[in-house]
Amino acid sequence: MNSSDDQGVVAEFLDEIEPTVFAFGTGITLVFVVLFALSPNTARDVVYGVQEVMLEHFNWAFLIIMLGFVLFLVFLIVSPWGNLKLGDEPPEYSYLSYFAMVYSAGLAAGIVFWGPTEALLHYSSVPPLYDAQAKSAAAIPIALQYTVFHWSLTQWSCFTVMGLGIGYYVHNHGAPLRVSAMLTPFVGADNVDNAWGQLVDILAVFATLGGVATSLGFIGSQFITGLEFQWGIQLGDLGTVAIITGMTVIFTASLVLGVDRGIRRLSNFNMTVFFVIMIATLIFGPTVRILGVGTQAMGGFIGDFFEMSLFTHFTKNGAWVNEWTVFYWLWPLAWSPFAGLFIARISRGRSVREVAFAGIGATAMATIPWFLIVGGSAVIMQHSGTANILGPVNTFGEAVSGYILFGSIPIAGTVLMFLFLVLVTTFFITSADSSTLAVSMMTTGGKEDPSSINRIFWAVLQGVVASILMVIGGVEALQSAAIITGGPFAIVCLLAVLGLIKTFRSEAGSVLLQEETTLIGSDDTPKQTANPEPTKTDD
């Protein structure tokens, strides 16, 4: 590439950025990192203090709001409003590829990572809603039930609500492809770049950067822990930075390839490996016990869904709810801007019903079996003494559980352990791809295909932030900051629901009328009135 081409690329990058959102989104993130690096103890105290106040006083509100999102999406699936479409064009991707990208863009990396672990933790310390003895046979279905509850329907609801709240107004009302598009029913599609809209987009950039940088550190720590536990290899700061850099290079390359050649193909690969691991674990693991305990856990999940959804427990065990359920609701709320924006980007031509079902129905159909099979195997093997997973988890952390579980499965253990590591990595890459693309779209005023240099800029920035925080030990603080941004996005998602209700009430009726008119017009038999008027002819 010659100098004129280089100047053209840079000029395109500078020309496409939205100055306010770009500057403030980048600036807030960098200021946070610098302040944390200069005075980590003070930064931790401030962030943790704000988080504690928010969880102590508003946990009930987050529980109610997230349950409301689930009920709203179920209504869209079964009601006539589900017939509305996002644009008039045919869908860009097959439904399987569409679902795979929705799943990979969400919390799939977390689902894979926590699959062998969370049920074990609930088994060793039973949630306070139930009175079973810890590490008993009665604790096994309860542990699986709560794990399924945390990861199946509710977490995905805010992504889906945000995706509909952005996508419907982008594809039907001409709003720019940015998070603030969900303000369209209140301010109009031409005014979403007002002060409130820019504030929403700036918060979305910060939340996305925090979420992805934390995940880079999260997955990097899993590799570091695995190397130390499995092979005794200890990495210093340079090794940590090297791992984060390697992951950044991989997902940047996939990102530059674009949605169709990069994200779509990798998402399809992810889902294939995902189901291979799940089925192989069921076949080679304690099959009969998995099926029996899994059935019991599903019964508890269905029967106790509303009680678990609204359980706050203001006694001394209220801390448990904040550390688990409320934390799990705030984390995806912080991710909802980029996940929702990516869902909006790929949902052109889909009906509202298809988007809603993909968001909470199809994802639950993939997630529930994973936790019942993988999590069930871990708990059953721990309880029966086939494998000791809790001991190393208490010593090395949750990251080692997958190594032990899959290494203990007869015949296919080594292969499953390798596939597990591949899957965690590739799921993270697709999440990082979609989030970086979303940030690029947000900071270019809604450009659907931002320039390569724009995508590379944000990918590198996220890698740098993750590396710095991994070295100085601030990943948990950035995670807490991202969780704090989930609070405001609970309100943003709620506004998206209210706006969609307002719009769907006025537009669903006209769509039904058009469908009835089309059906009448397509009937080959002419409609006769009781007293037809004579046909007029020219003289």
- The helix-helix angle for 154-173 and 475-521 (nearest 10°) equals 50
Closest by CA position to 154, among listed 404, 336, 391: 336
User: Do the domain assignments include residue 291?
Assistant: yes
Backbone dihedral angles phi then psi of residue 254, each to the nearest 5 degrees: -65, -40
- The reported pTM is 0.86
Is 129 in contact with 372 (CB distance < 8 Å)? no
Ramachandran bin of 473, using left for φ above 0, alpha for ψ from -120 to 50, beta for the remaining angles: left
User: Do the domain assignments include residue 430?
Assistant: yes
Tell me which residue range forms the domain holding 391: 18-508
User: Do the domain assignments include residue 72?
Assistant: yes
Closest by CA position to 120, among listed 334, 348, 402, 454: 402
Backbone dihedral angles phi then psi of residue 351, each to the nearest 5 degrees: -80, 160
User: Do the domain assignments include residue 529?
Assistant: no
pLDDT in tens, the chain (539 residues): 555 555 666 777 778 888 888 888 888 878 877 877 787 778 778 878 888 888 888 889 999 999 999 999 999 999 999 999 999 999 988 999 899 888 877 777 778 878 899 999 999 999 999 999 999 999 999 999 999 999 999 999 999 999 999 999 999 999 998 999 999 999 998 899 898 998 888 888 877 776 666 666 666 666 677 677 767 777 666 777 777 777 777 767 766 766 656 677 788 888 899 999 999 999 999 999 999 999 999 999 999 999 999 998 655 556 889 889 998 898 888 888 888 988 998 999 999 999 999 999 999 999 999 999 999 999 999 999 999 999 988 887 777 888 889 888 888 778 888 888 888 777 777 777 777 778 888 888 778 778 888 888 888 887 777 777 667 665 566 667 667 878 888 999 999 999 999 999 988 765 555 555 554 554 444 444 434 444 433 33
* Residue labelled with tokens 């076949």: 283
User: Do the domain assignments include residue 30?
Assistant: yes
User: Do the domain assignments include residue 185?
Assistant: yes
- Residue 312 identity (one-letter amino acid): T
Which residues have CB under 8 Å from 205's CB, separation 6+? Answer: 21, 24, 25, 26, 28, 29, 439, 442, 443
| Domains of the chain: total | 1
Read off the CATH number of the domain in which 259 is found: 1.20.1740
User: Do the domain assignments include residue 402?
Assistant: yes
User: Do the domain assignments include residue 523?
Assistant: no
